[in-house]
A and B are shown apart, each in its own frame.
Chain A
């Protein structure tokens, strides 16, 4: 059975990410990881769009959006 996804999710523009790992640290669902030391990536099936990462991102690049 397919797991139902939350209506919102976090979006991280890879090109602007500095890969500091702040978002990874604050995510309560462990839905973010750093891809090969280059940028943060969201694990879509886990993210519930709570926005904690967006509030903590020092570069303020994370947005929480409705899923398409």
Chain B
């Protein structure tokens, strides 16, 4: 397979999670992974972000090439529209919860929680990554977004190990949403 520059975008994932460990404000860069696929889908009616420029997709592909995937078929229910759409709704509800918590901190109703949550269950203290350089609400959003990105990365890596390398792409919430947008645009002509 011919190598292209975008095959090295797994470096971006490494940079993102690495820098977020030391300075949580780097988590804001995760919004790029939300904005770019939407811009490409709404503006140009394509999934070029998923197809080429997704750093997570490239990470999973690269790890698969290292032989870390069992390369088994996914169970049928994980490929069903019900699961894909359900997971998308759940994921964006969790993103909404991050925004809501940010608003609570901004309003002074809640104080800043300097922790990272994994799988919405395990909470890890992360206070070394915030120096107080920005407003607490900006830091709260960063902690929340980093938690969401880390959680989805762990789920993606888990299904990469169990099934095929890019199994995550089957039920990726952004992938599902952008495909719906593209299908809608296609029907409109």
Instruction: Kindly list chain B residues whose C-beta atoms are within 8 Å of the C-beta of A22.
Output: 61, 166, 169
Let me know if B57 and A20 touch, CB within 8 A.
yes
Instruction: Kindly list chain A residues whose C-beta atoms are within 8 Å of the C-beta of B167.
Output: 58
Closest A residue by C-beta to B169: A20
Contacts A36-B186, A59-B74, A60-B74 known; A19 to B1 CB distance under 8 Å? Answer: no
Pick the residue among A21, A36, A59, A61 that contacts B45 (CB under 8 A).
A36
Let me know if A59 and B186 touch, CB within 8 A.
no
Contacts A26-B1, A28-B1, A34-B51 known; A18 to B179 CB distance under 8 Å? Answer: yes
The binding surface of chain B is classed by DSSP as: helix
**Which of A19, A25, A56, A58 has the most chain B CB within a 10 Å cutoff?**
A58
Is there a chain A Cβ closer than 8 Å to B165's Cβ? yes
Instruction: Kindly list chain B residues whose C-beta atoms are within 8 Å of the C-beta of A20.
Output: 47, 50-51, 57, 166, 169-170, 172, 175
Let me know if A58 and B74 touch, CB within 8 A.
yes
Let me know if B79 and A59 touch, CB within 8 A.
yes
A-B contact pairs, 11 of them (CB 8 A): A18-B84, A26-B1, A28-B1, A36-B45, A37-B46, A37-B178, A56-B166, A57-B164, A58-B74, A60-B73, A60-B164
Let me know if B179 and A19 touch, CB within 8 A.
yes
Interface residues of A (CB under 8 A from B): 16, 18-22, 24-26, 28, 34-38, 55-61
Kindly list the 3 A-B residue pairs having the minimum CB-CB distance in the complex, ordered from nearest.
A21-B51, A37-B182, A20-B169
CA distance A20 to B48 in the complex (A): 9
CA distance A22 to B175 in the complex (A): 13
CA distance A35 to B41 in the complex (A): 12
Interface members, chain B 28-55 (any A CB < 8 Å): 40-41, 45-48, 50-52
In the assembled complex, the CB of B40 is this many whole angstroms from the nearest CB of chain A, namely 8
Contacts A21-B52, A25-B61 known; A36 to B182 CB distance under 8 Å? Answer: yes
Instruction: Kindly list chain B residues whose C-beta atoms are within 8 Å of the C-beta of A16.
Output: 79
**Which of A22, A26, A34 has the most chain B CB within a 10 Å cutoff?**
A22
